Amino acid sequence: MTYMIRKWTDKLQLDPPKTLVLGFALIILLGTFLLTLPSATVNGQGLPWLDSLFTATSATCVTGLVVVDTGTTFTTFGQMVILSLIQIGGLGFMTVATFFSLIMRKKISLRERLILQESLNQMTMEGVVRLAKMILIFTALAELIGGVLLSIRFAFDFPLPKAIYFGFFHAISNFNNAGFDLMGDFASLTGYVDDPLVTLVVCLLIILGGIGFIVVSDLYEYRHTRRLSLHTKVVLSTTALLVLGGTVLIFILEYTNPKTLQPLSMLGKVLGSLYQSVTARTAGSNTLSIGDMRQSSLFLIILLMFIGASPGSTGGGIKTTTFATLIGAVIAQIKGKEDVIFFRQRILPHMIYKSLTVTMTGLFIVMAVTMALSITEAGARFEMILFEVTSAFATTGLSMGLTPSLSPIGKTLIILTMFAGRVGPLTIAFALAQRRQKEYFRYPKGKITIG
């Protein structure tokens, strides 16, 4: 499927941003068609077109927001369609297409390498095919080990075939930061809130999928190079601070909440806090009832969702490096310094501008869609709307329960938000923009008052 789409886009001779946008759109449309088939749903009628489009977009954009319960609505065929979309969406269709090219011993053309570079968010084209191979191997190993461990645990609760199926479905879903589950009744993994094995395995899968394949490659090469890139250092340090900080704050804020942490043992409280902190980084599954959490905790999760995962990962959001760069710029301004310094290295000004552009574009999308849904979903509470929109933009998938009751216009807006969040606002902007031209002159300097 991905190989055919790549060949079709090659014939159109589109530039990399347009190819990525069109490629994801075609995969979503194919998934939509498959989910409307009678064999995709338990009732034998297929899913309505708009709900199919919503589900296919959520799966391909590895979001996890659902309008129907995955475990009880879809047949095995329908669930496998969703799982396939998750895998393609998480890895990126160009990475999957490269996999089939390698199997068929096809040569990777220069244009395909350029598209792969754009897909993997690499600065140069050098080594992109080798990185794609590493991504495929690492993904297979992570999902295999995670699937086996979860299957062993689920075997205590389900018949062995079902336990294996559940184990690998949830391993693939969470490694790709999608958050789709098969537990039924929109329950996600709430039944395993105080289970150390399920919590730690899924958290590790989410983190491994969310730190980015660039970081994974760098860590693998460390045994030879004995050094880590600045990108890896920033990603790991920011991820650690966000996960630990989120865990501590959720633990404090929800400690006395009778609907979340209060009834649990101390171990359960820690595990529940850790899981919600990790999953807010664009994963989507949950072990606590999101709708029963306090407003302060929900606002914290909104912030974590907006920041999201790291570049070149299966997750969304503005990304950890963007957040770290902006915080570094603020600190530099407060200290009266001209340069943003991380680990004794200076961040180039154009990277700061790009971080600001990504953040402001994300904020604009979230604010605009929230405003629109406040009109179309007039009966919903504002915090529910903001939570749902941020979750869609960050491709997180956490929900306060609003998504299943959205109006057709509301569903359409969330579909567009998920697509923009997964492909990337800048990629879409570059795809729609005219070809950029070099500037041959600069205007004189001007001064305005700031602050």
As a whole number of angstroms, the longest Cα–Cα distance in the chain is 73
pLDDT band of 35, cuts 50, 70, 90: very high
Of all residues in the chain, the percent with pLDDT exceeding 90 is 51
User: For residue 9, what are its two tokens?
Assistant: 């886009």
Which helix (H) or strand (E) covers residue 430, if one does?
A: helix 425-432
Residue 116 has pLDDT above 60, yes or no: no
Mean residue pLDDT across the chain: 85
pLDDT band of 127, cuts 50, 70, 90: low
Q: What is the mean pLDDT of residues 34-39?
A: 94
Q: What is the pLDDT of residue 426?
A: 56
CA angle centred on 308, ends 131 and 216, rounded to 5°: 25
Burial class (CB in 10 A: 0-12, 13-18, 19+), 447: exposed
Q: What is the pLDDT of residue 223?
A: 82
- Residue the block writes with tokens 């969470």: 174
Q: What is the pLDDT of residue 432?
A: 46
Q: What is the pLDDT of residue 118?
A: 56
pLDDT tens sequence across 296-315: 999 999 999 999 888 877 77
Residue 131 has pLDDT above 90, yes or no: no
Distance CA 423, CA 420 (A): 5
Higher-confidence position of 41 and 213: 41
- Determine the distance from the C-alpha atom of residue 421 to the mean position of all C-alpha atoms in its chain, rounded to a whole number: 8
Residue 262 has pLDDT above 50, yes or no: yes
- Determine the distance from the C-alpha atom of residue 260 to the mean position of all C-alpha atoms in its chain, rounded to a whole number: 25
> With left for phi above 0 and alpha for psi between -120 and 50, is residue 44 left, alpha or beta?
left
pLDDT band of 226, cuts 50, 70, 90: confident
Give the Å distances, CA to CA, from 358 to 34, 127, 323, 424: 34, 26, 10, 9
Q: What is the pLDDT of residue 433?
A: 47
Q: What is the mean pLDDT of residues 324-350?
A: 89
Residue 234 has pLDDT above 90, yes or no: yes
Q: What is the pLDDT of residue 306?
A: 94
Residue 136 has pLDDT above 90, yes or no: no
Q: Are 210 and 244 in contact (CB under 8 A)?
A: no
Q: What is the mean pLDDT of residues 132-152?
A: 89
Distance CA 11, CA 96 (A): 19
Q: Are 58 and 403 in contact (CB under 8 A)?
A: no
Distance CA 438, CA 417 (A): 31
Where is mean pLDDT largest: 23-27, 168-172, 353-357?
168-172
CA angle centred on 419, ends 46 and 56, rounded to 5°: 15
**Which amino acid, one-letter code, is at 348?**
L
What backbone phi and psi angles, to 5 degrees, belong to 346? -90, 135
Q: How many residues make up the chain in this entry?
A: 451
pLDDT tens sequence across 419-450: 888 876 655 554 444 455 566 667 787 877 66
Q: Quote the pTM value.
A: 0.88
Higher-confidence position of 103 and 139: 139
pLDDT band of 218, cuts 50, 70, 90: confident
pLDDT tens sequence across 144-167: 999 999 999 999 999 999 999 999
User: For residue 308, what are its two tokens?
Assistant: 């999201």
pLDDT tens sequence across 70-113: 989 999 999 999 999 998 888 765 565 555 555 555 565 555 65
HSE-CB for 418 with a 13 A CA cutoff = 35
pLDDT band of 317, cuts 50, 70, 90: confident
Q: What is the pLDDT of residue 8?
A: 47
Burial 56-79 (b: 16+ CB within 10 A, else e): bbbbbbbbbbbbbbbbebbbeebb
Q: What is the DSSP string of 349-390?
A: HHHHHHHHHHHHHHHHHHHHHHHHHHHHTTTS-HHHHHHHHH
Q: What is the mean pLDDT of residues 53-74?
A: 91
Q: What is the mean pLDDT of residues 246-251?
A: 96
